[in-house]
Amino acid sequence: MIKINENYNKLQASYLFSDIAKRVNSFQEQNPDKEIIKLGIGDVTKSLPKACIEAFHKAVDEMDNDSSFRGYGPEQGYDFLREVIAIEDFQSRGADIQADEIFISDGAKCDSGNIQELFSDDIKVAITDPVYPVYLDTNVMAGRSGFYKDGRYEGITYLDTTKENGFVPQLPTEPVDLIYLCFPNNPTGSTISKDELKKWVDYARENKALILYDAAYEAFITDDSLPKSIYEIEGAKEVAIEFRSFSKTAGFTGTRCAFTVVPKECMGYDAEGNKQGLHCLWNRRHCTKFNGVSYPVQKAAEAVYSSEGKKQVKETIDYYMNNAKIIRDEITKLGFDCVGGENSPYIWIDGKKGSWEFFDMLLNEAGVVCTPGAGFGSCGQGYIRISAFNSYENVIEAMGRISKIFS
């Protein structure tokens, strides 16, 4: 008899995006002439930078010739990409990360979901609330939680991120082994200072814990005092793995390219308490289960770091950040508290009523779609997330319609 992994039965079906779609479809049926503006999505709307497209085309042409054709590449990624990442993303900011500590992949979603395979089933996992759901669900699938009860999984340590703590979680009051942090945060858009992040690094060093740091939105950081990488914090290389992605940085959501940094000093422990390098384990896992990102896609990603690429990436990020500012300013003018939108593409708004109630109001009265915060965890109740990933014209129109409701 083929038995299933019953941990999957503990998972709560995610109705968030299907519920949104149902409400939007029903509104559209009743209001066929109303143009709906979607400010709920976490997907980018602007095309790939020209420099990436050119490099992509050129690499595809190389595949058309026996002498330049590439078959299987190194599972960890081509050196040309790993080397430029190490220099541009880390060494340039004083973080001593080497090219062979970088693993190229097809997404931060799969890497942040798969990494937990390296750890024992009986570790204690700490996850923020609200949260990007991948961290939580993959640990539930692996059996590191109990059942879902009163809006939370038993056995998981939840780190509340609320207005009271400035949307930056406090250190846990019970011992934990694996800590998921994401800054700039999805969904709240909040950021963490170097001093705050250092507290987590120190905690992990003192407790032999590990931090999984998701920096998928680092490109949106405009305040240079904020850390873009956890490795800007002293000692982090011993206790942190970092996830990065070209998805939001350079519009690769459909093209797929990301990377994970596992420093050689980063350690786990066996049952006897002996140190074991996580770099070796992830290398083994990656080579066994993954066959590399395609050559043209890695060439396109390399172009992100060319001088033209950098300029074009900046233009796109600036475009989204201008949208974010418009949203933030308008929402603040209307008297709502919000966080995010200054160093992140998301604005997290206290709607002063239930998340879905606020969602329905924006949809029915303004034809604007947002994301109800309750879908990201119980601390998201009362909040909505608005995303800056849309055209300037749509953002202006949407914010005009929203202000009409309240004026």
CB of 192 to ligand PLP, least distance (A): 14
CB of 252 to ligand PLP, least distance (A): 7
Of 187 and 296, nearer to ligand PLP (C-beta) is: 187
Omega before 32 within 30 of 0, i.e. cis: no
CB of 112 to ligand PLP, least distance (A): 6
Of 161 and 245, nearer to ligand PLP (C-beta) is: 245
Of 132 and 158, nearer to ligand PLP (C-beta) is: 132
- Relative to beta strand 240-245, strand 210-214 is parallel
Q: Which residue has the tokens 């989204």?
A: 320
CB of 186 to ligand PLP, least distance (A): 4
**DSSP string of 286-321?**
HHHH-----HHHHHHHHGGGSHHHHHHHHHHHHHHH
CB of 387 to ligand PLP, least distance (A): 10
Of 367 and 380, nearer to ligand PLP (C-beta) is: 380
Question: Which candidate, 7, 12, 41, 8, places its Cα nearest to that of 24?
Answer: 41
CB of 2 to ligand PLP, least distance (A): 30
- Relative to beta strand 275-277, strand 267-269 is antiparallel
CA–CA dist 393, 386 (Å, integer): 16
Give the interface with ligand PLP as residue ranges (CB under 6 A).
Answer: 42, 107-109, 112, 132, 182, 186, 214, 216, 245, 247, 253, 258
CA–CA dist 108, 260 (Å, integer): 7
Of 158 and 389, nearer to ligand PLP (C-beta) is: 389
Q: How far is CA 346 from CA 40, 53, 70, 182, 384, in A?
A: 9, 27, 39, 13, 10
Residue nearest to ligand PLP (CB): 107
Of 216 and 366, nearer to ligand PLP (C-beta) is: 216
Question: Which residues on neighbouring strands pair with residue 129, listed in sequence order?
Answer: 160
Coil vs helix vs strand at 215: coil
